[in-house]
Amino acid sequence: MQSDELWDLTLEDARAVIGDGTATASEFTDSCLGRIEQVEPMIHAFAERGTEAARERAAFLDECLPDDRGPLHGIPVGIKDVMDVEGLRTRAGSGVLADAVPANGNAPAVEALGNAGTVVLGKTTTHEFAYGCETPPTRNPWDTDRIAGGSSGGSAAAVAAGECLGALGSDSGGSVRIPAALCGISGLRPLVGAISLARTVPFSRTHDTVGPMARSAAGVAHMWSALVGAPLVEAADPRTIGIAAVADLESLGPFDRDVVATYEAAVAELANAGCTRREGNLPKFEEWNASRTKVVLSEFLAEHTDAGWYPSRLDSYSPELQRYFERAATISGAELILAHRELDDLAARFRSSLHGLDALILPTVSIEAPHAASIKSSEGAGITENTMRLLQTTAPVSYTGLAALSVPCGLSANGMPLGIQIIGRDEQTVLSIGLLFQKVTDFHTLRPSLEGSS
């Protein structure tokens, strides 16, 4: 393979190519950096690049003896701009942190990937302080008139476009899973607490997680193994797997016709592979909205007050976030107590669908990637029907104490990627079922065709 095509490999294939000596860490790094130069003007996935540091790191890795190489030796990655990367600024997509100085250390997840041998190419874009589903100015590699999703939109777009082979995102209400689905890649929301959030800009302490993103579940599994030091997950034996699915999705909330069709086909693929299928009974998705919004807004306000950013830097926040703070300040303690009780009840009802089973399968998003113009509200606050639809099936999962993996499951009639969530009690289970799904389907092999990028 030509060096300028190395960016097009999956993470797992790149490991093999580097492992057998066909290509070096420097060649992979240069290939991805070249790809960034080529497509970044169209998708805007990077907030800051670390080009020279990446080349120096790759050159160092090339000198390592085979016995000193980590499991992700030479793999180029991107890091969402809420996590510290030594030598780069952490600005969380906000003017509040515009004067941030380069970090003098790494967030634990970044450090773990570095210990495994990765090369950090730069910081990927995020919706301001990870509060949103759009990630401006990032665009979707499948259609640059559409959003990439958020708030880890930069990480998803960069992986989908071949700018890096893997990336880290953060997920509180769906911020890994939503952009993974909209950009046609795979992304994991781990259990809360599975990965330390030190040196990571907080959003909501009861919801925050850090998760890996790659083109395939196999790539995610390799990153997960490196992140937590666990054995590499293998594909599940379908004869041992029981899944819950929903026969009538639209009884739970609105879903586009293409989403329903691809979801039903994906569930059928797992059943045909040998998984046992049962009906899942879930609360309607709208039942979560009011209580979850109160909890998340209150925690978001508390984080920014504790950090000293709010209200001292109020003018540096976008009008969107200023309105969120205003709304959060009106929520009383009594309302919060009631909201937590309601969410605990909903979460218990949700988890009951897993009784005696391994995973619940749901669509990741209820719509295809919206056009960028449609996601804006007239007030500029970012709260539109499309925004709520993007969060519809991911946000509830974030309160259940479960892990979730989004994997591609097909294309809409407009040629846009769609995804399913595999939801289970732990990361190993959802990854093993994701690997099984990608053994019997090839949706994860589909690639966007960026105009002018070839």
- Please state whether 290 falls in left (phi above 0), alpha (psi between -120 and 50) or beta: alpha
Q: Choosing from 94, 152, 175, 291, which is the catalytic residue? A: 175
Cis ω before 151 (30° cut-off from 0): yes
Say whether 318 is catalytic: no
Give which of 409, 112, 148, 380 is closest to 258, Cα–Cα.
Answer: 409
Task: Determine contact, residues 359/430, Cβ cutoff 8 Å.
Answer: yes
- With b meaning 16 or more CB within 10 Å and e meaning fewer, what string describes 1-11? eeeeebbebbb
- With b meaning 16 or more CB within 10 Å and e meaning fewer, what string describes 82-106? bbbbbebbbbbbbebbeeeeebeeb
Q: Which helix (H) or strand (E) holds 28?
A: helix 25-43
DSSP string, 115-146: HTT-EEEEEEP-SGGG--S--TT-EETTEEEE
Say whether 378 is catalytic: no
Q: Choosing from 26, 80, 291, 294, which is the catalytic residue? A: 80
Q: Which helix (H) or strand (E) holds 428?
A: helix 427-440
How many angstroms separate the first and last alpha carbons of the chain? 16
Q: Label the pairing between strands 242-245 and 276-279.
A: parallel
- Which pair of tokens denotes residue 307? 């950090």
Place of tokens 């290939």: 31
Say whether 406 is catalytic: no
Q: Choosing from 151, 216, 366, 406, which is the catalytic residue? A: 151
Burial class (CB in 10 A: 0-12, 13-18, 19+), 331: middle
Cα dihedral 168→89→108→208 (10° resolution): -60
Q: What is the spatial distance between Cα 201 and Cα 209, in angstroms, rounded to a whole number? A: 11
SS3 244: strand
DSSP string, 201-216: --S-TTT-EEEEEESS
Q: Cα dist. 372→134, 154, 365, 369, 394 in Å?
A: 8, 15, 16, 9, 20
A 10 A CB-CB count for 279 gives 10
- Phi and psi for 362 in degrees, rounded to 5? -140, 160
Q: Catalytic residues, which ones?
A: 80, 151, 175
